[in-house]
Amino acid sequence: MPTPERPYAPANVLGILNDLDKYAGWLGRGLEATRVREAVKLLTAVFESGCDMRDAVDALESDIGKMPSSQVGTLLRKAVRCFRLAVANTIAT
């Protein structure tokens, strides 16, 4: 997994979305986990539509923040940071 200091190349933004989906699938069945999975699906749909993703990313980060601390939560937070950087780098280039 890339780090925020070394984000994915712009062509691999979908790779980050795939990682987010994979990590969200590892979560349990609780309400917080369900919200995170739905937020990942929403972010993917917004990305594919080409619309502004800021609100969807903010919602995902908020839902991740409501989860109890875990290794999967850490992976999700890192992936969201990488996603933000990769999208910003894509827009800047």
Q: Tell me, what amino acid is at 92?
A: A
Q: What is the pLDDT of residues 24-38, one digit of tens each?
A: 999 988 899 999 999
Contacts of 72 (CB under 8 A, 6+ apart): 23, 26, 27
Q: How far apart are CA 69 and CA 55, in angstroms?
A: 23
Provide the pLDDT confidence category of residue 6 given band limits of 50, 70 and 90: very low
Q: Residue 1: inside a domain, yes or no?
A: no
In a domain, 61, yes or no: yes
- The verdict on pTM exceeding 0.85 is no
What domain count does the chain have? 1
Residues spanned by the domain of 67: 10-92
8 three-class SS: coil
* Residue-wise DSSP of 21-69: HHHHHTS-SSHHHHHHHHHHHHHHHHHHHT---HHHHHHHHHHHHTSPP
